[in-house]
Amino acid sequence: MSAVGRKNRRLVVALATVAMGMVGMSYAAVPLYDLFCRVTGYGGTTQIAAERNDTVTQRPIKVRFDAMVTNIEWSFQPVQRQIELQVGENAVAFYRATNRSKQPLTGTATFNVTPLKVGAYFSKVECFCFTEQTLAPGQTMEMPVAFYVDPEISSDPNLDDVKTITLSYTFYPVDEPTRPALERQVSAKAEPKDRRRSIQ
């Protein structure tokens, strides 16, 4: 093989490697961005806590609840519009969803908090948003979210002005559920066990 041929071959291999690398990065971009948001709280992304908090401060804070649906025939709203608690206090709130269609529907919820800068300090111990939820026709379900506001928020001077946090959820349809609805149970970490309630 001539010198020119070898150079052309190396060029083709290099270009193919770059192309494959770009394809790989495009697939990795979404999960990497999601990981970045979860670690930093960027964009109001909340944190996931492995266990309940055991340190409660004297700082009061209000948590408001918001709910929306997109392209799914459900009604969806918070059972309570607002609660008041102390920073670090463990709390459980409920959202209510009703399938208004004549067929089973599965949805998944996205979420964030505002102000966006609070995301790094809003910790969920358990949430219906961690798994897909399936409702039978006409079924109503009350679903819990167990959470606390991390006491470390008081160490961040940028958050001294925060008196109220809004927790928002939006339910979207899932075309192909990943597993049967009966297997989707809310963890016992939201005390007492399985606080999700079906209302017929």
pLDDT by position in tens, the chain (length 200)? 566 566 567 666 666 665 665 655 444 433 433 333 344 333 346 688 889 999 999 999 999 999 999 999 999 999 999 999 999 999 999 999 999 999 999 999 999 999 999 999 999 999 999 999 999 999 999 999 999 999 999 999 999 999 999 999 999 999 776 654 434 433 333 444 445 555 44
Q: List CB contacts of 52: < 8 A, sequence separation 6 or more.
A: 90, 125, 146, 148, 189
pTM above the 0.95 mark? Answer: no
Q: What secondary structure does DSSP assign to 155-167, as a single string?
A: G-GGGTT--EEEE
Give the architecture-level CATH label for domain 47-199: Sandwich (2.60)
Q: Domain segments of the chain: what residues?
A: 3-40, 47-199
Is residue 57 within 8 Å of 88, Cβ to Cβ? yes
> What is d(CA 90, CA 149) in angstroms, rounded to the nearest whole number?
8
CB atoms within 10 A of CB 42: 14
Give the C-alpha distances (Å, rounded to integers) separating 173 from 64, 98, 168, 176: 24, 13, 17, 9
Residues 173 and 101: their CA atoms lie apart, in Å, by: 13
